[in-house]
Structure 1
Amino acid sequence: MASDLVLYTNPMSRGRTARWMLEEVGAPYEAVVLDYASSMKGLEYLAINPMGKVPAIVHRGKVVTEVAAICAYLADAFPEAGLAPPPAERADYYRWLFFAAGPVEQAFTNKSLGVTPTDQQKRMVGYGCFEQTIDALEAAVSATHYVTGDTFTAADVYVGAQIGFMLQFGMLEPRPAFVAYWNRVSARDAFKRAAAVDDALIAAAQEATAEG
């Protein structure tokens, strides 16, 4: 690739979060849009991500997959963007970034699949129960302006994207704290730029399908 920074994505995927993070970083990048039916499972992409899923980034020849990891990596790779707190102040940053990537992700996946742990199973699963996880998430986004305090960070990209997605599709109760937090983070110019690009890609694909 000619670019030092490449995003592999699909506009109807978690790649939207990675693009948002890239727009926050402000570094030039190349986007390679893959489709679910063919190129995402093709040998060329499987050499980058054997899971055959997007997003992935390649930065100076190094591959990073998993959205939370991509957000954290980009914040460190481009410190001038100010998207990671100083190392001594990263407790909340790491805590809520990985809380969203772990318990929140697990809780909503199980809920969407109709899986409800029994009282005994709650001791085994990382999130305990859905209700407890959502209450903890609400506390995280209502305690301060952003999840680490008054400053927006890469953790807000990931947490915010999850909340926005779940609100959009009715997967999350629209509690005032969730709605207010989402309104704050989605008002950012970087989010608007990223969403505009991906929405345009979706519209173009839909138009091509209709014409075909």
Structure 2
Amino acid sequence: MTISSACGFCGRSALRVTYAVTRQSQANWICESCVSRYNISADIDGQPLGPKEARAYAHGLTARLKQQTCQDIIRHVQTQLQDTELEEAAVYFDRNLQLSPQRAARLFAALLQLSEETNLQIFGVQTRSNVHQQEFGALADAERRLVWPALSPQQRRRLASLGFAPAGMVVRRNATSRAARLEVRLSTPRMPALTGVATIHPKPKT
């Protein structure tokens, strides 16, 4: 396992977590999504895991790393900027492991102020409930722009349908689909489906 890498299968880049897999003599670093998508077994400290157990292990490990990363980022920002709203965001995240739209906007503004480059999607912004949707809609346009990159395509489609998309932001629809969907193009072609069994080798922490 490594930090800040790219997936050797799907081509996604700027990933927080990737896993080392081997297939015959070929080795690749792949993302959590590809671990879930392909038939991959694992060997954890000499303990063999089947594909189902390997997916569960990778998912749990990724979730814990994301949580720790978010907490570290928030604490770092707090040491740089003395702000009671940031303290509230830290407490809220510790309790919910996600951020409300308002608290996300304040934290992301602080990260921008400090010129800290961060994949904002790791924080997980709450928009499922009507309360959080309305909270997002009540944000100033500049604040909604700050939070928008942290949202998933599904979240963006839902908020756009409510008229809450930031000014100038367009959610493109696929003409052949009834549901609105964002069109995503990969920078590199997809790898073909695995035909052999791959294994995960977590990299020891240094």
TM-score tier, shorter chain, comes to 0.3 to 0.5
Q: TM-score, normalised by structure 2?
A: 0.38
Bigger radius of gyration: 2
Higher relative contact order (CA 8 A, sep 6+): 2
Q: TM-score, normalised by structure 1?
A: 0.38
User: Which structure features the higher share of strand residues?
Assistant: 2
